[in-house]
Amino acid sequence: MAQIMEKVPGPEDKQDPQAEQDAKVKDSLGKIKNKFIVMSGKGGVGKTSTSVNLSIALANKGFKVGIMDVDLHGPDVPRMLGLEGMLDLNQNRKLNPARYSENLKAVSIESLTPNKDEAIIWRGPIKYSAIQQFIGDVEWGELDFLIIDSPPGTGDEPLTVAQTIQDAKAIIVTTPQEVALADVRKSISFCKTVKMEIFGIIENMSGLPCPHCGETIDLFGSGGGEKTARTSGSAFLGSIPFDPNVVLCGDSGTCFQDAHGDSLVSQAFDRIAGKLAELV
Amino acid sequence: MAQIMEKVPGPEDKQDPQAEQDAKVKDSLGKIKNKFIVMSGKGGVGKTSTSVNLSIALANKGFKVGIMDVDLHGPDVPRMLGLEGMLDLNQNRKLNPARYSENLKAVSIESLTPNKDEAIIWRGPIKYSAIQQFIGDVEWGELDFLIIDSPPGTGDEPLTVAQTIQDAKAIIVTTPQEVALADVRKSISFCKTVKMEIFGIIENMSGLPCPHCGETIDLFGSGGGEKTARTSGSAFLGSIPFDPNVVLCGDSGTCFQDAHGDSLVSQAFDRIAGKLAELV
């Protein structure tokens, strides 16, 4: 059965453990050139599938990429990447990330939980501590990109990332309907408040070509992401259509871009990855 | 700009304010016959549209219903109900909920925020306090049903509800794909850990009839919700198909069940409301 953790382990019994942790965090971050947090106002807009597919597109371009999954209550990165098993400690007593490929590695609470069906029932302070450990206690090594998949909203997890990784840039994922866009405006307000640069906005699930008749179905409307980017003065990174194969591949841990390399979705991710690659 | 609140106002300057708050919470809850928390493992499964449509279906059957929106980072209930304006205080210094109809009232952080685009950047402890106030400091009055719309996952908000409302029952909403079901199993584990009864599981976005050719498209697969209910020994409350009109109505604050009373979605909500009504 899951455990409820409401308190952080007390610092009083260690010698300035926060300073020690801060030093480890700084050391890890110093080896990572570009840090992006993938955020969304609303859940279920395909934030994790965007994080995963963007990371794979970058890795395919030859970059060294890490994915850090800070969605502690719904950690879906390992399943979508088809990563099984637990993380192990190396000789420096740091965690080795799980390896998806030569260029792509990942860390998630899911890879540290023996029983995958168990809930992580953590209140805020323990989340802060966990995310700091995901950075400082993990052997990330030299990376061109760290892609951070965060839970929806503007709570403890993105706040901890913003405060810990001061040069992180935000990529905000949304679907086109107004209810989602209302929440995106909150994400933009969040970034301004914590002084995090918004790299751009991605519109996901932007129309579905019917697999039977080929006509486009506007599941959630369309164009709202681009309009919100324009209104808020943010860059628009692109639209990604809905493709049921993304769901199927995510469920089975199959690489969508390997299986459907010519699809509109793969092309869209390749274009967006190109925009990130210009930074390197 | 949004404010970051990391600390609860200190109790030291008041005379046992927690006991006073507890008494107000108990008083409010004593007048409410049935309490349901609508949860999901994953975001974007249509949890809020389920909460809203289920509440309307119950109100249409003549019951007195309240919706309490404890999704503090993405509060979408007022928009979906078309409720504008702020809540006001009555002569007992309690908040009056917003009124959707004679039988249905709602409280949300959105109705207490002057600037709707501003993010609520709250760490855990302040959320606990806010949710307690949503119960104890609101003039809910006599209700047959309180439907509590919670954010996805197993964090502070559902934990606070479980600890504060000990007779609350859970309704878990999911979409049919495995990535969503993995998170549902975490919600089930959460309920067992906090000893909250699971009333049942709803499968949402369960197939889309193409508006052009009429053929069914399995956006997220189908049947996974019913299977998970069976495996976990929970009741299955029903499947709700995807209908783009639900999105359109949610965006414009139009009542879907008024506009599309004969639709498969309205029929599904009416059936599920009937299962809740058996409790009264």
What is the DSSP pairing of strand A169-174 with strand A197-203? parallel
- B116 touching A (Cβ < 8 Å): yes
pLDDT tens column, A166-215: 999 999 999 998 888 888 999 999 999 999 999 999 999 999 999 999 99
pLDDT for the residue B3: 56
| More confident call, A41 vs A230 | A230
Distance CA A167, CA A140 (A): 17
Q: Among B189, B211, B217, whose Cβ lies nearest the Cβ of A118?
A: B189
For residue B79, give the chain A residue with the closest CA.
A179
Tokens representing residue B255 in the block: 């009542």
Q: Which of B179, B187, B248 sits opposite A80 (nearest CB)?
A: B179
**Residue A26 pLDDT:** 96
Those residues whose C-beta lies under 8 Å from the C-beta of residue B226, and which sit 6 or more positions away, are B201, B203, B236, B239
Answer whether B99's CB lies under 8 Å from B67's CB.
no
Could you report the predicted ipTM of this complex, rounded to two decimals?
Answer: 0.78
pLDDT at A3 over 60: no
Which residues does chain A have within 8 Å of residue B81's beta carbon, measured at their own beta carbons? none
User: B203: which strand partners?
Assistant: B174, B239
pLDDT mean values, one per 10 residues, chain B (280 residues): 55 70 96 97 90 96 97 90 92 94 96 85 86 96 98 90 97 91 91 96 93 92 90 95 91 91 95 93
Q: Is A156 within 8 Å of chain B by CB?
A: yes
> What tens digit of pLDDT does each residue of A118-128 get?
888 887 788 99
**The predicted structure's pLDDT at residue A4:** 61
The two beta strands, B216-217 and B208-209, are antiparallel
Tokens of B164: 């504060």
Q: What is the pLDDT of residues A27-50, one digit of tens each?
A: 999 999 999 999 998 888 999 999
Smallest Cβ–Cβ distance between A117 and the set B119, B185, B212 belongs to B185
Q: How far is B95 from chain A (nearest CA, A)?
A: 24
Check if the beta carbon of residue A173 is closer than 8 Å to that of residue A45: yes
The stretches of chain B forming alpha helices (DSSP H) are 17-30, 47-60, 77-81, 124-136, 156-164, 178-193, 224-232, 244-252, 256-259, 264-277
**DSSP letter assigned to residue B74:** S
Query: B43: which chain A residues are within 8 Å (Cβ-Cβ)?
Result: 40, 42-45, 74, 151-152
Query: Which positions in chain A touch B211 (Cβ < 8 Å)?
Result: 217
A233–chain B Cβ distance below 8 A for any pair:
no
Strand partners, A221: A219
Start-to-end CA distance of chain B, whole Å, equals 45
Mean pLDDT of the region A267-275: 97
Cβ contacts from A onto B, under 8 A:
232
The pLDDT of residue A190 is 94
On whether the CB atoms of residues A191 and A198 are closer than 8 A, the answer is yes
Q: Which residues of B touch A177 (CB under 8 A)?
A: 247, 250-251
Q: How far apart are CA A224 and CA A201, in angstroms?
A: 11
**A155 and B155: CB-CB below 8 Å?**
yes
